[in-house]
Structure 1
Amino acid sequence: MALRPRRPGRGLPLRAIAPNAVTAMALCSGLTGIRFAIAGDWERAVLMVLLAGVLDGIDGRIARLVRGESRFGAELDSLSDAISFGVSPALIVYLWSLMGIPRIGWLAALIYAVFCALRLARFNANIDVAEQPHKSAGFLTGVPAPAGAGLAMLPMYLWFWTEEAIFRSPWLVAPWVAFTAFLMVSSLATFSWSSLRLRRRVRFEALAVVVIFAAAIVSAPWQTLSVICLGYLATIPFSIAAYARVRRLRAGAPATPSAAA
């Protein structure tokens, strides 16, 4: 009786465990934010989502550092993002404000969570596509999920900062959350921070800015986060104009022999 050949192992390599563990920590952080929101601890709920954003920003860098990229890791990262930056902010904002208008508020929360999932599904569908105009030019398509979560909670930052009741009004929060959802699924070109390169002459100044930012986020977190969100929104018109300029340059460039063929 002939023995069946053994199938090659399909387990994850050891070097892929570290980045996937960080991704799992980001998922746990986002879910913990929901737990704090149910308890009415709004500041900790927001901080848990922000911590998930920090962890999400470093897991990919760890994967590239240890050469632990994998298809499993990419899928886990997308699922973690959908929960940490889609479901979690939607529920936190709903419990904080949108419960005041249950039907419209829940609709706005659903739109945000579903649009976040649609954005991530679009990203996964295009991950193997060679021709991506935005990506090849150093831009993102729409607002990324972590930034979308930060923007969706902007009324909460302002409420923590000023304690003004207007920022907790569901009639203000609902359209804002829906607008943030639109930014995530839109085809607008937004700046990709990973594609930015600093000149050698300004690296010391950039380090000073980072130090100032760290001091501000520790001493006045909600004011700093509010300014960051408003500043990020202000960059979107410039990113759209910059990408339009790139498109015009590409359209006016002479065709290469391979393209002509």
Structure 2
Amino acid sequence: MSDSPDAQAPSREPTPLLVRPRRKGIYILPNLFTLAALFGGFYAIVMAMNGQFEQAAYGIFIAAVLDSLDGRVARMTNTQSAFGEQMDSLSDMVSFGAAPALIVYEWALKGLGKLGWIAAFVYCSGAALRLARFNTNIAVVDKRFFQGLPSPAAAAVLIGFIWVMDDAGFKGVSKIEWLSWVAFGVTLYAGLTMVTNVPFYSFKDVSFKRTVPFIVIVAIALAFAVITIHPPIVLFSLFLIYGLSGYVVYAYKRMKGKPVSVIATSTDEPDEQGLHR
């Protein structure tokens, strides 16, 4: 038996150091684009309240451009985050849901009484439902197609129509009955098409990292030149064609006997090739 004091002393374990959890940061670059898109929607609402509908159209279309960039910037810089996804959805709800509904109501629908604000609400709720469905179905939807008209495109159809009419000199539209009813129809079409199961091409399989023939760059330059000829009519025409294209694809698939749903039920079926990618 040892007489050393160390042998009699109780063993002492070193006290573990408390490590503070690392604080989660927010990626600034993609969220700058999202905030800028949100500002575009807010700016459009303010301009519509002041009767400046052309400026309101600028705000919505700029918001649409910025919204198309934030996700790509996040993927290119590897700065995706759950916060960014939620922020993007909230920004979309303002810029492409609430803002267009308020703008078209202020522009034309308020002259229709209750039917006017009901149509505006149908559009606004359609945007909310479409965004919620997109967020919950993102893992099971064919990436090549959107399920229903995407909210930025729906906003572009609705606001593009307002921009064209305002540019043509129609003022005080809420007192022009026939035009108010046309706006009523366009609003319902855009709102309801967002919540259909009609497939709209997403362009997500277009890669900006691949090389392309020189003629493609020439075509892009010509496209910009065509837009500058008369932006209201050209942009509205492009988005109107896109807004109708889903029904053309739906009818074509029906005629060919192909599946029309973009929701995948299995990853093994040959008909669902390309899903879950």
Superposed counterparts of 1:61-210, under 5 Å: 61-127=72-138, 129=139, 131-132=140-141, 134-135=142-143, 138-163=144-169, 169-196=179-206, 203-210=213-220
The answer as to 2:249 corresponding to 1:239 is yes
Q: Which has the larger radius of gyration?
A: 2
Match of 1:23 in 2: 34
How many residues in Structure 1 have an aligned counterpart in Structure 2?
245
Query: What residue number does 1:258 align with?
Result: none
- The structure where helix makes up a greater share of residues is 1
TM-score, structure 1 length as denominator?
0.83
Higher alpha-carbon deviation: 189-198 or 33-42: 189-198
Shift in Å, 1:216: 2.5
The Cα of 1:254 is off from its aligned counterpart by 9.5
Alpha carbons of structure 1 residues 10 and 171: separation in structure 2 relative to 1, 3 Å: same
Gaps of 5+ in 2: 1-14, 261-265, 273-277
Contact map agreement 2:198 2:247 (CA 8 A) in 1: no
Unmatched 5+ stretches in structure 1: 256-261
Q: Which amino acid aligns with 1:152?
A: L
For the aligned residue pairs, the C-alpha RMSD in angstroms reads: 3.0
- 1:40 aligned to which of 51, 55, 60: 51
> Any idea what SS the aligned residue of 2:146 has?
strand
- Encode CA deviations 1:70-106: one digit per residue, 9 max, x unaligned: 0000000000000000001111111111111121111
Query: Which residue among 60, 66, 80 is the counterpart of 1:55?
Result: 66
Deviations 1:125-164 (A, max 9, x none): 223x3x33x33xx111111110010012232133134336
Structure-2-length-normalised TM-score: 0.78
Residues 156 and 236 in structure 2, CA contact (< 8 A), matched pair in contact too? no
Identity of aligned residues (%): 33
Cα separation, 2, equivalents of 1:184 and 1:35: 25
Give the distance between the partners of 1:239 and 1:84, measured in 2 at CA.
27
